[in-house]
């Protein structure tokens, strides 16, 4: 390589230092592998979606009762996902839950409620048991980060991976840059784990502030976009996720609210959730969001959060845990002048995102096999960028599975890694330099605003063939204008890469949505022109991958694991 | 309605009297918004990209002298948006 590249050789390269990426690093470090992590944040202990903390953790614990066994939860996965789920991967994730939970406890995470001296387990989101541990997870990520640091991983902070290196459908590294210093890295690796999270900043919300999002706004579908460019298959990209948030502040907290007994009421004071699901506020998140969307469309808005009926002790607990999930929520209520214990709080539907469509175990993103490996050999994915996603525990468990998969893959691989093509690498860097050199052109904010408006209007929760085609035309026209993007500084170059990834994810979402000619899971994929769920024809995955002229679509029966669609398995199947 | 036309709101207020210029807020910000000159105890942190804030409050939570206050803008605390406008256009 040229002297102005920093070159690194490693066994495992992890893209994203959140829960999934860190948990993937841990078994690799334990096996003695050399691990390098690239992360856009600066402090590993606080990186990723729950760098601020988390207040719940979904797990089976195998404590005795039948409902607490993996097999019981696995049995309910088809109904939880409306039949669109990779049962092979979801089953492995659920079976591994107790083991990984205990491993995380051994890192020092205290899941117990100090008041009761044991786990405070609650039921929510349509799950068939009290699988959610409600706990003070302020330091959850800190303990996992510490474990990674103790294992002596190389961590490149404020560093964004912009392109994967692949040859013959095998990953062997990536190109990355530090957006504080401008240093460029060419990293060769025997395996790569993509763990860069979900896709945010992709549609509008009530405040109109792009970075006011329910989930981390710096997760911009980087893994999905890079995987796509490398030929990896993605699935479930048509499904969108929304939640309910205080109107004006897209923040976490719905799980704690509903599991502790809060109600939602419409403008007439009607507790409307039971019209949509017999479980009421304990329905799946997708159903809760869909119900609120319907109430607004029926003219029954505003929708309110109602906690007035709850006992004082419950309200105290709620107040304490809300702060754990989003540190600033109490300050927000205070500045707003709202006392949620005594008054109704106006609620909005959040912006849309691509994650797991409001249901557990059906992730939208990179298709993986039971080892967390994508359709590209040695390229793994875990967390909210993978097709089995289950919140923090899903990220932790699939991350750990992927890390163990990496160990197997690395041990089974012999021979030298390919040399990096200098010319191709220089082109990637020159493109970024070009953003800085350009005086006139489009800003990343313009690109993103147009993407968000297009998604909100035509790819959101009321889809039709005509609207989706209109959206695809607009999004593809926007792609052509990406050649004219300009940045003022390295931070802006990083945002340009993010915005381009957001636009590409929007195009993949529109493409998959157009293909699925039915409605499934309410507003997660609602086709006005195909308003019914069509189990006879659509118990299928929609798979999107890079074609000759852009995204190409195929389908696979959900009776089969997604890995059956992987070309790398063709010789062995 | 024209949220973007308004002047950029600064969500992260730093009290120069109590700030000890320690760099922690710069380090912990997940969005690369806060820039503090390293090894210079004279300069204050600068909120370089205020409109990219997530309002997570990590900077406030880690500040050793409680010098940081998070201020929410008007469109977050008194929001007037018609939620139906976020639910898509019907094209048939």
Choose which CATH entry (3.40.1160.10, 3.50.50.60, 3.30.930.10, 3.30.70.60) describes domain A5-240+354-412: 3.50.50.60
How many angstroms away from the CA of A437 is the closest CA of chain B? Answer: 21
Would the CB atoms of A301 and B91 count as touching at under 8 Å? no
How many angstroms away from the CA of B24 is the closest CA of chain A? Answer: 10
The per-residue pLDDT for range A525-556, each reduced to its tens digit, is 999 999 999 999 999 999 999 999 999 999 99
**Which residues of B are less than 8 Å from A348 in CB distance?**
79, 81, 83, 86
Q: Phi and psi at residue A521, in whole multiples of 5°?
A: 55, 50
Would the CB atoms of B86 and A207 count as touching at under 8 Å? no
CA distance A272 to A261: 15
The per-residue pLDDT for range A371-400, each reduced to its tens digit, is 999 999 999 999 999 999 899 999 999 999
CATH class for the domain made up of B12-87: alpha beta
Cβ under 8 Å to B: A residues 484-503: 491, 494-495
CA distance A262 to A393: 24
Q: Which of A208, A349, A462, A526 should be substituted to probe chain B, the one whose Cβ sees the most B Cβ atoms within 10 Å? A: A208
The per-residue pLDDT for range A281-334, each reduced to its tens digit, is 999 999 999 999 999 999 999 999 999 999 999 999 888 877 888 899 999 999
Confidence label for B2 from pLDDT (cuts 50, 70 and 90): very low
Find residue A119's DSSP bridge partners.
A112
Region A147-166: what's the mean pLDDT?
97
Region B31-40: what's the mean pLDDT?
95
Closest CA to A407 of A118, A29, A18: A29
Query: What's the CA angle centered on A534, arms A528 and A538, to 5 degrees?
Result: 105
Would the CB atoms of B72 and A331 count as touching at under 8 Å? yes
CA distance A16 to A22: 8
Residues 6+ apart with CB under 8 A from A463: A513, A525, A526, A527, A528, B88
* Residue A85 region by backbone torsions, left for phi larger than 0, else alpha for psi between -120 and 50, else beta: beta
**Which residues of A are less than 8 Å from B53 in CB distance?**
211
Beta strands, E only, A270-336? 303-306
Asked if residue A208 lies in contact with residue B81, where contact means CB atoms within 8 angstroms, the answer is: yes
Residue identified by tokens 């204008």 is A481
Q: Phi and psi at residue B65, in whole multiples of 5°?
A: -120, 15
Sign of CA dihedral A516, A522, A526, A530: positive
Which pairing describes strands A379-381 and A184-194: parallel, antiparallel, or unpaired? parallel
Confidence label for A247 from pLDDT (cuts 50, 70 and 90): very high
The per-residue pLDDT for range B38-85, each reduced to its tens digit, is 989 999 999 999 999 999 999 999 999 999 999 999 999 999 999 999
What single-letter DSSP state applies at residue B49? Answer: -
**Any idea where the domains of chain B sit in the sequence?**
12-87
CA distance A336 to A331: 8
Nearest to B79 among A52, A206, A460 (CB): A206
- Chain centroid to Cα A177, Å, comes to 23
Confidence label for B3 from pLDDT (cuts 50, 70 and 90): very low
CA distance A245 to A352: 12
Q: Which of A17, A51, A53, A212 should be substituted to probe chain B, the one whose Cβ sees the most B Cβ atoms within 10 Å? A: A212
pLDDT exceeds 90 at position A252: no
**A164 versus A415: which is more confidently predicted?**
A164
The per-residue pLDDT for range A190-223, each reduced to its tens digit, is 999 999 999 999 999 999 999 999 999 999 999 9
Residue A413, pLDDT score: 87
Residue A571, pLDDT score: 52
Residues 6+ apart with CB under 8 A from B12: B25, B33, B34, B47, B50, B53, B59, B60, B68, B70
Tokens for B64?
């050793």
Partner B contacted by A335 (CB < 8 A): yes
CA distance A316 to A321: 9
For the ranges A9-13, A20-24, A93-97, A121-125, the lowest mean pLDDT is seen at A121-125
Confidence label for A425 from pLDDT (cuts 50, 70 and 90): very high
**Any idea where the domains of chain A sit in the sequence?**
5-240+354-412, 259-349
pLDDT exceeds 70 at position A1: no
Would the CB atoms of A349 and B61 count as touching at under 8 Å? no
CA distance A455 to A436: 28
Which pairing describes strands A345-349 and A303-306: parallel, antiparallel, or unpaired? antiparallel
Residue A565, pLDDT score: 96
Closest CA to A98 of A125, A66, A70: A70
> Does ipTM exceed 0.90?
yes
For A48, name the nearest residue in chain B, comparing CA atoms only.
Answer: B30
CATH class for the domain made up of A259-349: alpha beta
pLDDT exceeds 80 at position B1: no
Asked if residue A366 lies in contact with residue A212, where contact means CB atoms within 8 angstroms, the answer is: no
pLDDT exceeds 60 at position A411: yes
């Amino acid at each position: 390589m040229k002297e102005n590249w920093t070159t690194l050789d490693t066994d495992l390269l992890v893209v994203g230092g959140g829960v999934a990426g860190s948990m993937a690093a841990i078994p690799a470090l334990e096996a003695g592998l050399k691990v390098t992590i690239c992360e856009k944040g600066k402090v590993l202990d606080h990186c990723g979606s729950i760098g601020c903390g988390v207040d719940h953790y979904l797990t089976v614990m195998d404590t005795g009762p039948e409902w607490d066994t993996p097999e019981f939860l696995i049995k309910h996965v088809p109904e939880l996902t409306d039949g669109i789920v990779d049962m092979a991967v979801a089953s492995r994730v659920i079976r591994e839950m107790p083991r990984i939970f205990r491993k995380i406890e051994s890192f020092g995470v205290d899941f117990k409620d100090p008041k009761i001296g044991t786990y405070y387990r609650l039921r929510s989101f349509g799950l068939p048991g009290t699988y959610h541990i409600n706990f003070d997870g302020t330091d959850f990520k800190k303990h996992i980060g510490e474990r990674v640091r103790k294992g002596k991983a190389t961590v490149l902070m404020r560093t964004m991976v912009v392109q994967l290196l692949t040859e013959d459908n095998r990953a062997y590294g990536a190109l990355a840059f530090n957006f504080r210093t401008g240093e460029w890295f060419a990293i060769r690796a025997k395996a790569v784990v993509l763990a860069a999270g979900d896709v945010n900043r992709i549609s509008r919300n009530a405040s109109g502030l792009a970075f006011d999002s329910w989930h981390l706004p710096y997760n911009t579908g980087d893994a999905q976009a890079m995987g796509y460019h490398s030929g990896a298959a993605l699935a479930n990209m048509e499904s969108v996720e929304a939640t309910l948030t205080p109107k004006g502040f897209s923040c976490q907290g719905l799980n704690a609210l509903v599991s502790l007994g809060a109600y939602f009421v419409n403008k007439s004071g009607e507790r409307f959730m039971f019209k949509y699901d017999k479980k009421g506020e304990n329905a799946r998140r997708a159903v809760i969001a869909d119900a609120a969307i319907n109430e607004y469309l029926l003219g029954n808005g505003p929708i309110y959060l109602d906690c007035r009926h709850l006992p004082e002790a419950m309200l105290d607990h709620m107040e304490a845990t809300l702060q754990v999930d989003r540190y600033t929520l109490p300050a927000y209520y205070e500045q707003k002048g709202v006392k949620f214990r005594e008054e109704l709080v106006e609620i909005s539907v959040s912006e849309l995102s691509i994650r797991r469509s409001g249901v557990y175990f059906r992730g939208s993103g990179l298709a993986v096999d039971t080892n967390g490996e994508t359709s590209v050999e040695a390229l793994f994915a875990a967390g909210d960028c993978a097709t089995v996603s289950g919140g923090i525990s899903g990220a932790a468990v699939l991350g750990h599975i992927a890390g163990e998969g990496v160990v197997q893959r690395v041990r089974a691989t012999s021979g030298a890694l390919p040399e990096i093509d200098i010319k191709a690498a220089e082109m990637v860097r020159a493109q970024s330099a070009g953003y800085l050199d350009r005086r006139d052109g489009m800003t990343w904010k313009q690109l993103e605003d147009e993407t968000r408006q297009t998604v909100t209007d035509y790819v959101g929760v009321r889809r039709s063939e005509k609207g989706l085609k209109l959206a695809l035309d607009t999004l593809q026209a926007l792609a052509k204008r990406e050649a004219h993007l300009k940045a003022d500084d390295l931070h802006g170059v990083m945002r340009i890469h993010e915005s381009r990834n957001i636009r590409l994810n929007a195009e993949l979402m529109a493409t998959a949505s157009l293909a699925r000619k039915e409605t499934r899971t309410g507003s997660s994929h609602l086709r006005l022109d195909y308003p019914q769920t069509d189990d006879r024809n659509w118990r299928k995955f929609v798979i999107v991958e890079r074609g000759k002229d852009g995204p190409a679509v195929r389908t696979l029966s959900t009776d089969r694991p997604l890995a059956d669609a992987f070309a790398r398995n063709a010789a062995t199947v | 309605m024209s949220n973007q036309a308004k002047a950029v709101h600064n969500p992260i207020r730093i009290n120069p009297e109590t700030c000890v210029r320690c760099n922690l807020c710069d380090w912990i910000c997940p969005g690369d918004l806060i820039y503090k000159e390293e090894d210079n105890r004279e300069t204050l942190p600068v909120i370089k990209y205020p409109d990219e804030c997530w309002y997570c409050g990590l900077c406030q939570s880690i500040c050793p002298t409680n010098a940081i206050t998070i201020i929410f803008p008007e469109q977050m605390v008194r929001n007037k948006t018609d939620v139906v406008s976020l639910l898509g256009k019907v094209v048939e």
